[in-house]
Amino acid sequence: MIGEEDYDHLYKLVLVGDATVGKTHILSRYIKGTLPKAPTATIGVEFATRTVSLDAGCAVKAQIWDTAGQERYRAITSAHYRRAVGALLVYDITKPATFKSCQRWMEELRSNAEPDIVIMLVGNKVDLAEKNPGDRQVDFDAAADFASQQGLLFEEASAVTGANIKLCFDKLLKEIYNTTQHRRDREDDPTNNFQLQGRSSQTECAC
Amino acid sequence: MQSVSSSSASDTGRSAKAQKFYRLLSLPSVDLAALRELLWSGAPEEDPKIRAEAWQMLLGYLPPVKDRQGPGLQKKREEYEELRRRHYTPIESGQDGLSDVDSAAILRQIRVDIPRTSPGLPIFSHPRIHQLLERVLFIWSIRHPASGYVQGINDIATPFVVVLLASRLDCLPEDIDVDAATDEMLDSVEAGAYWCLTKFLSDIQDHYTAGQPGIQQMVAKLKEIVHRIDQKLYEHLESQGLDFLQLSFRWMNCLLLREFPFPCVIRLWDTYIAEPLEGFSSFHVYVCAVFLIYWSPQLKQMDFQQLMLFMQKLPTGKWRNQEIVGDSERAGPHHGHIATGKRLCFRESGLAPYISRPLKVKEDLKANRYFVASDYNFDGGSHRSPWTDRYIPVPPGGEAEEERLFRPSARLKRLEQSFNEVFEAYVMSYYEGGVSSVYLWDLDEGFAGAFLVHKELAKVLGDGKTGVWDSIHVLEVRESPNSHYVDFKLSSAIWLHFQVAAKADQTELSGHLTRQAEARLDRRKKAGEDAQIIQVGTMIEDNENFLRHNLECIHLAKQRTVLDAVRSQAAGP
């Protein structure tokens, strides 16, 4: 894991959304480039990290918490949102109920995570709609409208084909970087949470 | 139902362990306490029927009385068929049985989870098993609306399906061929799995209700135990900001099914099912504590991220049963998760007198004396004799293994000896015989102990009547260096069991009574072991007198009134 520890910023992200919208698949695709070998329902939370360099020229480490989607686990999983600066809020484009739940997920994120958490709305399983257009139950435009009203980033993606997965994370991380950078410029707060470990001597990276 | 005893009792060449099970299970009325004790140390793998029968019996599905097994099972099967007709058939036949949204959501979730249940076992990819599991889980969820279906319950159902199916097909779990099973076999496995799951989950239903309070409590308890017994590890985890909920939530929610290889889970569940009623859920926390501390040396070297990654994918893939039950080859203090967990459980929470099964007596040949064998002197599969301080029988690992088993500190050992002498004299004069033993163990500040008496009343009663009297006193003594006082807490229980064999039928009577007492000694006035022995002696005597008096004047008197009323009615006017 050489290079893994060489980063400028550490961002905590959470993956949320209804059960079986494909959160764990998205994470596996992003971290390992493959789908899970033996898929099981996520119980509680699971954890993974990936370090990427942004266009701005600095390296950020994403610490990603994959959560169980089932209603019953909310009490346990919401405890893990604390200090999260970004979230992937996932729904399944073939299941309208999972899109409807997004409103509630969003509220839960905003009340348990950092108040200015950056949220990327992800419509997963586009591969199904590509194969059979009748499977699509959530309109791209409807979701895009919802996202812009709520101030969310938005992409459709497919963990199965890998389409747009990396893009979702890249855009999210970049936006978090911009937001925190902007805030740091404004506040210049030396106790900022988001610059942990790494090159601690260097508060600003060469961007 | 083909029972263990009829199929293979006469087989020779079976292991000694299997023979013990056969002997027990072939009796007309199986002694459940004895069965618990046997199963606690694991069912033999050679005959899958043994485990299935023991599990079903201890989970209340299979009646212990041979004559009642046929009708009993028949009744349960019919009840399940009825549940199936009521809750499941409407869905199957396409009628809308799912008018309410909740049931529809439950079924949808179950259908998504079943194909991804225990993917390590080939039988769980078979469509017939999928259908079976779907019905069991759906009906269970509808019948338990407070929790409904929660992910992870699908995992918990799998051991029952495997154990019952292996028994019906008479093969090892890994050799199960689902296509070889008849519809009748699968139906019986389904009903059995449903009832066993229902009973098993009844102890931990608050794991799956809103807010999951049962799990939160278990996690808190785990944290407390680890803090007490491995403070360095606890402090390390704290310093890294690792929450116990993060590391152990799944252990509680899926009862280690996701952590251990399947055969190890089955072995662990032998013990869980054999635990006395409502016992396994508290025991499970201790097993989890042992499991966590097992990794302590590695964990203490890791930072937050390494810890998280390590804990979610522990290297247990190659584990075999010795990791669970202890390995005599292994050096060091680890005797397997079960025995170590049990020992901890007793040393930590030994205050509730353990009265769910009669005490047993063993013979110490070196001292030529009997002693009481109980959970309080149990370790590594053997019992420690208070007379010679040796574990009997010598464990499979020999003397070296025996040396590593639990013993009290030297100071406590001396006190234990004195207590044994005094207590024996007391028992001789009060009980006119009977076997007594005292076992002590160290606490952080002070010590705890169990004072046990076992007396068989066969000779007194005569005529095929049997009776057992067990007295169990559990003592906790707190002596803090910062305090002048020594605090004593004593919980006493008397356990009585009579069996009166008449010609036509048997009458069984059993019951128990308990009483607590507390006292405080001022060390400035009375000090030393003698004062403590006198104090404890007085407390035990008071408690016993109180309990005996109650028994005689209230319980037996009432019993007599009831029996007399029955008799006079039977005699007629």
B538 min Cα distance to partner chain A (Å): 49
In a domain, residue A39? The reply is yes
A35 min Cα distance to partner chain B (Å): 14
Look at B93-97, B132-136, B378-382 and tell me which has the smallest mean pLDDT: B93-97
Collect all residues with Cβ–Cβ distance below 8 Å to B420 and sequence separation of at least 6.
B386, B387, B436, B437, B438
Beta bridge partners of B495: B470, B512
Using the beta-carbon criterion (under 8 Å), do B245 and A47 form an inter-chain contact?
A: no
Give whole-number Cα distances, B281 to B275, B285, B286, in Å.
Answer: 9, 7, 9
Using the beta-carbon criterion (under 8 Å), do A20 and B112 form an inter-chain contact?
A: yes
Query: Cβ of A140 under 8 Å from any chain B Cβ?
Result: no
- Tell me, which fold does domain B24-88+100-202 have in CATH? Helicase, Ruva Protein; domain 3 (1.10.8)
Three-state DSSP at B249 gives: helix
Q: Average of pLDDT values for B205-228?
A: 89
Using the beta-carbon criterion (under 8 Å), do A38 and B208 form an inter-chain contact?
A: no
Best of A27, A49, A76 to disrupt the B interface (most B CBs within 10 Å) is A76
Buried b (16+ CB within 10 A) or exposed e, B218-255: bbebbbebbeebbeebbebbeeeebebbbbbbbbbbbb
Chain B residue closest to A22 (CA)? B112
Pairing between β-strand B378-379 and β-strand B382-384 as defined by DSSP bridges: antiparallel
Question: Does A86 have pLDDT greater than 60?
Answer: yes
In a domain, residue A194? The reply is no
Best of B258, B307, B308 to disrupt the A interface (most A CBs within 10 Å) is B308
B391: left (phi over 0), alpha (psi -120 to 50) or beta: beta
- Quick: pLDDT tens for B143-160: 998 889 999 999 999 999
Which DSSP helix (H) or strand (E) runs through A155? strand A153-156
Instruction: Residue A150: give the domain boundaries.
Output: 9-181
CA–CA separation, B32 and B35 (whole Å): 5
pLDDT at B560: 74
Question: Does A60 have pLDDT greater than 90?
Answer: yes
- Quick: pLDDT tens for B318-353: 777 766 665 433 333 345 666 666 666 555 544 444
The band of B93, judged by pLDDT with boundaries at 50, 70 and 90, is low
Of B211, B243, B249, the CB nearest to A43: B249
A34 min Cα distance to partner chain B (Å): 17
Report ipTM for this prediction.
0.83
CA–CA separation, B100 and B293 (whole Å): 46
In a domain, residue A202? The reply is no
* B residues 87-146 lying closer than 8 A (beta carbon) to A: 109, 112-113, 116-117, 119-120
Of A45, A48, A70, the CB nearest to B246: A45
CATH of domain B410-570: 3.90.1150.210
Of A39, A40, A47, the CB nearest to B312: A47
Using the beta-carbon criterion (under 8 Å), do A19 and B250 form an inter-chain contact?
A: no
In a domain, residue A159? The reply is yes
Using the beta-carbon criterion (under 8 Å), do B147 and A72 form an inter-chain contact?
A: yes
Of A46, A72, A80, the CB nearest to B212: A72
- Quick: pLDDT tens for B346-392: 555 444 444 445 688 899 999 999 999 887 887 767 889 999 999 98
Chain B contacts of A75, Cβ < 8 Å?
A: 210-212
The band of B274, judged by pLDDT with boundaries at 50, 70 and 90, is confident
A76 min Cα distance to partner chain B (Å): 7
Chain A contacts of B112, Cβ < 8 Å?
A: 19-20
- Percentage of residues in chain B with pLDDT exceeding 90? 39
A 10 A CB-CB count for B292 gives 23
Query: Cβ of B336 under 8 Å from any chain A Cβ?
Result: no
Using the beta-carbon criterion (under 8 Å), do B249 and A47 form an inter-chain contact?
A: no
Query: Cβ of A45 under 8 Å from any chain B Cβ?
Result: yes
Task: Kindly tell me the burial class for residue B566, based on how many C-beta atoms sit within 10 Å of its own C-beta (0-12, 13-18, 19 or more).
Answer: exposed
CA–CA separation, A139 and A162 (whole Å): 20
B318: left (phi over 0), alpha (psi -120 to 50) or beta: alpha
Q: Average of pLDDT values for A136-160?
A: 97
Helices (H), B93-230: 101-113, 127-143, 153-169, 183-202, 213-229
Q: Which amino acid is at B152?
A: G
Query: Which tokens hold the place of B293?
Result: 């501390």
Which DSSP helix (H) or strand (E) runs through B420? helix B410-431
Domain CATH code at residue A92? 3.40.50.300
Beta bridge partners of B520: B487
- Tell me, which fold does domain B213-266+275-327+340-349 have in CATH? Cyclin A; domain 1 (1.10.472)
In a domain, residue A201? The reply is no
Q: Average of pLDDT values for B150-178?
A: 94
- Number of domains into which chain A is organized: 1
Cis peptide bond N-terminal to B276, omega within 30: no
Using the beta-carbon criterion (under 8 Å), do A70 and B309 form an inter-chain contact?
A: no
Query: Cβ of B429 under 8 Å from any chain A Cβ?
Result: no
Give whole-number Cα distances, B7 to B26, B148, B252, in Å.
Answer: 10, 39, 38
In a domain, residue A24? The reply is yes
CA–CA separation, B392 and A159 (whole Å): 60
Question: Does B501 have pLDDT greater than 80?
Answer: no
Query: Cβ of B150 under 8 Å from any chain A Cβ?
Result: yes
Question: Does A29 have pLDDT greater than 90?
Answer: yes
Q: For chain B, give every domain's residue range.
A: 24-88+100-202, 213-266+275-327+340-349, 360-403, 410-570
Collect all residues with Cβ–Cβ distance below 8 Å to B354 and sequence separation of at least 6.
B276, B374, B375, B376, B472, B474
Query: Cβ of A75 under 8 Å from any chain B Cβ?
Result: yes
Using the beta-carbon criterion (under 8 Å), do B253 and A41 form an inter-chain contact?
A: no
pLDDT at B90: 77
Query: Cβ of B535 under 8 Å from any chain A Cβ?
Result: no
Using the beta-carbon criterion (under 8 Å), do A70 and B109 form an inter-chain contact?
A: yes
Q: pTM above 0.80? A: no
Question: Does B214 have pLDDT greater than 70?
Answer: yes
Using the beta-carbon criterion (under 8 Å), do A63 and B305 form an inter-chain contact?
A: yes
Beta bridge partners of B501: B506
CA–CA separation, B236 and B161 (whole Å): 41
What's the residue count for chain A? 207
Pairing between β-strand A59-67 and β-strand A45-53 as defined by DSSP bridges: antiparallel
Collect all residues with Cβ–Cβ distance below 8 Å to B136 and sequence separation of at least 6.
B157, B161, B190, B193, B194, B197
In a domain, residue A204? The reply is no
Chain A contacts of B250, Cβ < 8 Å?
A: 43-44
Chain A contacts of B308, Cβ < 8 Å?
A: 47
